[in-house]
Structure 1
Amino acid sequence: MKTKKGSALFGNYALIIVVGLLFALPFLYTLYTSFITMQDVNKIVGVSHWTFNNYKTFFTNDAYNVPKWLMNTVIMTGIVVIGNLIINPMAAFALAKLDFAGKKLIYWIVVATMMVPYHMILIPVYVNVAHLGWLNSFAALTVPFLYQCLYIFMLRQFFISVPNEFIEAARIDGLTKVGAFWRIVYPLAKSSLITMSILAFAGTWNSYLIPSTLANDPEKYVLVVGLNSVKDMFFENTPLIMAGVVLATLPILIFFFIFQKQYLEGISSSGVKG
């Protein structure tokens, strides 16, 4: 019996490893190609042939303002993630636990908005941003995205599961509704908030269409937009392009691996409830 269980366990782990390698293979190829020269593309070469020149090119060549693009991306992503961590939970808590006129209507508007592709409202957003004089500014790249209806919906489902007795006990102890939210309910949503943060981080860091539409000044480029312009100039330089892909992808992988445990807990605890 133990032998059968051990064999089944070994088979499961082997299958997981094989599937994991299949999913990781494209990134491993990208990572490998970023360290070789153009002459070695599509060849398997030893570590002695690897080089950091492709990465050095990005950070030392005046034609690519990668440090500036990277800083722009960090600022944009940081503002959007922090904004979502503040605005989305407050809206979700109000829809889950507070009673006010029009609550159900607002909730269904949030749900309906989730079904509208952002591409459909990009032109109205561009027109409004232009009227405000925000084009080629961080305000254009951040303010319209400080909240996301999907995350409001996700957090609302979690807050519904929080017993009302917690909030009532906090009120008895002298806390206001705002105080009860920030000091009692908000910390309970740690896993869901981290899940939201990972999704918001990945979506913002990788965003191309919106930053390229609202900011056409090279000084305001984010990393993905800037690297895409490099790709257009050096389409045939595969290792250089792959180095750019690694630069754009690595922060997301690091962010995910740091918070993967909380991410999985957040996914399991944010299911749709009543």
Structure 2
Amino acid sequence: MLTRTNNGRPFLYIGTIILGLLFVLPFLYTLYTSIIPMRHVNTLTSPANWTFENFKIFFTNDAYNVPRWFLNTVIMTGAVVIGNLIINPMAGFALAKLNFKGKGLIYWIVVATMMVPYHMILIPVYVNVAQLGWLNTFWGLTVPFLYQGLYIFMLRQFFISVPNEFLEAARMDGLTKMGAFWRIVYPLARSSLITMSILAFAGTWNSYLVPSTLANTPEMYVLVVGLNSVKDMFFENTPMIMAGVVLSTLPIILFFFLFQRQYIEGISNAGVKG
């Protein structure tokens, strides 16, 4: 009788730890450099020399309005994530469980949009936003991005796996299709929704091309665009540059760690059914 051994497991753990360190070391270097004076760059120094002065300068200097840029980013990212949490699941549910004319065509159109780089449609989006008078407004920064074909596809794959008996039971209890969706099906997609939220949050928070195209006044800059506009001011000040990098990346890391368990579950459930 064959027995299963774990002789290779220690090497697997060691390899995983080494790989994890390779990924986390660049951020740790960035974080460390952001809290030390310029004279200690590329050297190890004691915690007594650590300082948050670089971050204080960013938030208190009158030459640029980092608090406003940070608020703009929070508003834009929050609106996009909430919009995706509402529109994408509804579209995915319709394509998975409802029968209507043109359903197959709409599905393939959604799939086709996943193959088109956003750079190719940025000019038409800009023209439409300009015609609506939404340049340099939160409307222009959020409304065109309240849904994504990738997330519709991902959620459709999950909703296909939901037994039709659930919907039949809901109908027998007097629920409409929308009622069954919001009260029964939507909660079942929690892991997939959190996965989508993390991806949407990271993509929107770090977005540069779209916000820099649709908003060109300092008052409407988001954090990445605003920090990029002042980078020349600190070109030779490495700790200041690293402080800006930390400001733009730390929220994404914290958001991921809060929901990493559900994210892994959602990735394992999406795209493997249907």
Counterpart for residue 264 of structure 1: 264
- Separation in 2, partners of 1:147, 1:35: 38
Is 1:206 aligned to 2:228, yes or no?
no
SS in structure 2 at match of 1:169: helix
| CA deviation string 1:193-230 (max 9, x = no partner) | 00000000000000000000000010000010011112
Moved more, 175-184 or 36-45: 36-45
Is 1:60 aligned to 2:65, yes or no?
no
Structure 1 counterpart of 2:143, one-letter code:
V
Is 1:25 aligned to 2:25, yes or no?
yes
* Cα RMSD for the two superposed structures: 1.2
Counterpart for residue 253 of structure 1: 253
**Misfit runs of 4+, over 4 Å:** none
Is 1:98 aligned to 2:69, yes or no?
no
Moved more, 238-247 or 37-46: 37-46
Counterpart for residue 112 of structure 1: 112
| CA deviation string 1:105-132 (max 9, x = no partner) | 0000000011000000000000110011
Counterpart for residue 8 of structure 1: 8
| CA deviation string 1:212-257 (max 9, x = no partner) | 0000010000010011112132211110010010011110000000
Counterpart for residue 154 of structure 1: 154
- Separation in 2, partners of 1:229, 1:45: 31
Is 1:184 aligned to 2:179, yes or no?
no
Q: Give the structure-2-normalised TM-score.
A: 0.97
SS in structure 2 at match of 1:158: helix
- Superposition map of 1:60-79 within 5 A: 60-79=60-79
| CA deviation string 1:128-177 (max 9, x = no partner) | 10011000000010000000000000000000000000001000000000
Structure 1 counterpart of 2:167, one-letter code:
I
SS in structure 2 at match of 1:44: coil
Counterpart for residue 163 of structure 1: 163
- Separation in 1, partners of 2:134, 2:232: 27
* Superposition deviation, residue 41 in structure 1: 1.4
Structure 1 counterpart of 2:269, one-letter code:
S
Counterpart for residue 221 of structure 1: 221
Structure 2 counterpart of 1:121, one-letter code:
I
Counterpart for residue 134 of structure 1: 134
Any gaps of 5 or more consecutive residues in structure 1?
A: none
Structure 1 counterpart of 2:229, one-letter code:
S
Counterpart for residue 80 of structure 1: 80
Structure 1 counterpart of 2:233, one-letter code:
M
Q: Give the structure-1-normalised TM-score.
A: 0.97
- Separation in 2, partners of 1:185, 1:245: 39
**Alignment coverage as a number of residue pairs:** 271
Moved more, 35-44 or 24-33: 35-44
* Superposition deviation, residue 37 in structure 1: 1.4
Any gaps of 5 or more consecutive residues in structure 2?
A: none
| Aligned-pair identity (%) | 79
* Superposition deviation, residue 12 in structure 1: 2.2
Is 1:37 aligned to 2:37, yes or no?
yes
Structure 1 counterpart of 2:146, one-letter code:
L
